[in-house]
Structure 1
């Protein structure tokens, strides 16, 4: 693969930093297939040109709030990737998010040049409309929104042995496993992390009480625990 032009590389660095809360030089070096030393030089060059990148070597970089670039244009491959992503995801997302994905794609296709739009819409890659049933997709939407709003939940759950329990949860994230969605949460009933199949949640009550991240009870803590055990 030919080396990326420096101007293109600088533009890509800006895009990568904009898209993340904190971006390390190691991440940029691996992503762009250059040395960390080149990353440091490029960051210094961008800062000298007035791009408001904050941070330092060894810690990480972020873009100062409020910085923006002119609207971008997608090439044919990028537009095809977006079409493929929406086709694959739509039947697997909750109804509201699936509709938003379709609307977003329509906006993108609507501003593409004719050749790129034709290439994107004629992509010969399709996904069968298989995924969660309608009830599960509705529950998934409720769980996703409660997670975003940091709202506690009370659920009735039917486990794989058909034992029914009631749990009070701090929802942390929804995960798709190819066949099923699960909710990962801090279970106040068990005082530990638990995962629940969304299709086996019998009832959901969104409580008025909100929660804040506490040490040992966050999604990051849960993921670190899985990593330490060598499993997911």
Structure 2
């Protein structure tokens, strides 16, 4: 079993070397849950097998340019993943990027056997995924592609942006650091020359985007640094008692409203939340299932909900 496990790991490391310009031992060790010394031995095994690897411990490893083996066969699970991946890309990325991803997938499909291509076709015909509207500005169909290119090539972007707090569109020069998907939208972090600071932007509010040939003016840290840099905003702890038979219907949405934990108590489920916006966002969400739930705390939330109810106009 150990021999098989090591063989699979060594093969996986080889594919990592083919897929990336540089691979670090510490990253491989974390991925495969082994020590760096084990990774060093695996690298030596590949070298002894005739794989031309350059680099050294501590700096990273890479394959000699131009060295590639013939494409390997895909497993059945990997083949099925190709079909699912294309559907997911069409759902979550802009049309321009989805088109290029489809082209890349077709090149991969060209290496498949006839029966494997047939399996993918059957799955594709019987897999549907709804696409959310208004996730991207239709006037900027290649926004994700341009931002990805900017991050990779470290080129400044000219952007026209409509923020939620302003009535007019502002023109900005930005240096995008990275992109992330949260909730139903794509966001990106960038250094804004107009504000002379790092700012977070939502991609559907971009009105125009132009990639320049000018390089970044500064060295930026990784995206995770800026996302974790700011202190977490204050939250309000909320406890609800929800009818057990109904509780399952909100499990898909609750994470967006600060869900922390739940405890089953007879016919009720007590849920705890840490809400960033209890007075408006959480209170309005609660109204969707208020007949099936009771606010245990804070009592001020009950008052907020009552006030909202009095403002509802039913003709």
Which TM-score band (shorter chain)? Answer: 0.7 to 0.9
- CA separation in 1, counterparts of 2:92 and 2:82? 16
Q: Equivalent residue for 1:128?
A: 130
Q: Is the 8 A contact 1:184 1:195 kept in 2?
A: yes
CA distance in 2: counterparts of 1:147 and 1:42, whole angstroms: 33
Match of 1:226 in 2: 227
Mean CA deviation greater in 196-205 or 142-151 = 142-151
Secondary structure in 2 aligned to 1:41?
A: helix
Structure number with higher relative contact order (C-alpha < 8 Å, ≥ 6 residues apart): 1
Match of 2:89 in 1: 89
2:182 paired residue number: 177
- Structure 2 residue runs without a partner (length 5+): 233-315
Conserved? CA contact 2:174–2:193, under 8 Å: yes
Q: Which moved more, 1:148-157 or 1:88-97?
A: 148-157
Cα pair distance change 1:202/1:64, threshold 3 Å: same
* Residues 116/230 of structure 1: CA separation in 2 closer, same or farther (3 Å cut): farther
1:161 corresponds in structure 2 to 165
Matches within 5 A, 1:72-87: 72-87=72-87
Alignment of 1:104-115 (within 5 A): 104-115=104-115
Q: Deviations over 1:25-44 (max 9, x none)?
A: 33323433444333222211
1:2 deviation in Å? 7.7
Q: Which moved more, 1:47-56 or 1:2-11?
A: 2-11
Gap change, CA 1:229 and 1:19, over 3 Å in 2: farther
TM-score normalised over the length of structure 2: 0.61
Name the count of aligned residue pairs.
Answer: 227
CA contact (8 A) 1:183 1:198 kept: yes
- Closer, same or farther in 2 for the Cα pair 1:104/1:20, shift >3 Å? closer
| Residues 76 and 120, structure 1, Cα contact 8 Å, conserved in 2 | no
Question: Distance in 2 between the 1:206 and 1:54 partners?
Answer: 35
Cα gap change, 1:205/1:22 in structure 2, threshold over 3 Å: closer, same or farther? closer
The whole-number CA distance in structure 2 between the counterparts of 1:163 and 1:224 is 31
Q: In 2, Cα distance between the equivalents of 1:230 and 1:63?
A: 42
- Tell me if 1:60 matches 2:65: no
For the residue of structure 2 that corresponds to 1:39, the secondary structure is helix
C-alpha contact (below 8 Å) 2:97/2:144 kept by paired residues: no
Q: Distance in 2 between matches of 1:104 and 1:9?
A: 26
Contact preservation (8 Å) 1:80, 1:121: no
Partner SS state of residue 102, structure 2: helix
Deviation, structure 1 residue 230: 6.6
Greater mean alpha carbon deviation, residues 141-150 or residues 81-90? 141-150
- Which of 195, 217, 221 is 1:190 aligned to? 195
If the length of structure 1 is used for normalisation, what is the TM-score? 0.79
Structure 2 residue matching 1:122: 3-state secondary structure: helix
Larger Rg: 2
**Over aligned residues, Cα RMSD in angstroms?**
3.0
- Distance change (3 Å), C-alpha of 1:87 and 1:47: same
Moved more, 82-91 or 62-71: 62-71
